[in-house]
Structure 1
Amino acid sequence: MPGAPARITIRPDDYHVPYAGTAGDGRKFFLSDELFVPDGAAFVGLFLWNADGSFAEVKADRADHPTDVPPGQAAPAGADQVKSRLRELGDYKLEPITVAPFLTEVDGVIFGWRFNSFDGVDSINIEPGDFICYYEPWDGYEYDT
Structure 2
Amino acid sequence: MPGAPNRITIRPDDYHVPYAGTAGDGRKFFLSDELYTADASYVGLFLWTADGAFDSVQVDSLTRPSNVPPGQAAPGVDGDEVVQTRLKQLGKYVLEPIEVAPFLRTVDGVEFGWRFEVFEGTATVNIEPGDFICYYEPWDGYEYDT
Q: Same fold (TM over 0.5)?
A: yes
The equivalent of 1:73 in structure 2 is: 72
Deviation sequence 1:16-73 (CA, Å, 0-9, x none): 00000000000000000000012x2000000000001000000000112223212331
| Structure 1 letter corresponding to 2:58 | K
Deviation sequence 1:87-136 (CA, Å, 0-9, x none): 00000000000000000011111000000001210000000000100000
| Structure 1 letter corresponding to 2:5 | P
CA distance in 2, matches of 1:33, 1:20: 13
The equivalent of 2:10 in structure 1 is: 10
SS in 2 for 1:137: coil
| Structure 2 letter corresponding to 1:4 | A
The equivalent of 2:36 in structure 1 is: 36
**How many residues matched?**
144
Deviation at 1:76, TM superposition (A): 2.0
The equivalent of 1:50 in structure 2 is: 49
Moved over 6 A (4+): none
Note the residue ranges of structure 1 that are not aligned, 5 or more in a row.
Answer: none
What is the RMSD of the two structures over their aligned residues, measured on CA atoms? 0.8
The equivalent of 2:123 in structure 1 is: 122
| Structure 2 letter corresponding to 1:35 | L
CA distance in 1, matches of 2:37, 2:121: 27
Deviation sequence 1:1-24 (CA, Å, 0-9, x none): 000000000000000000000000
CA distance in 1, matches of 2:68, 2:120: 31
Note the residue ranges of structure 2 that are not aligned, 5 or more in a row.
Answer: none
CA distance in 1, matches of 2:82, 2:45: 10
Give TM-score, length-normalised by structure 2. 0.96
The equivalent of 2:25 in structure 1 is: 25
CA distance in 1, matches of 2:123, 2:8: 13
The equivalent of 1:142 in structure 2 is: 143
The sequence identity of aligned pairs, in percent, is: 72
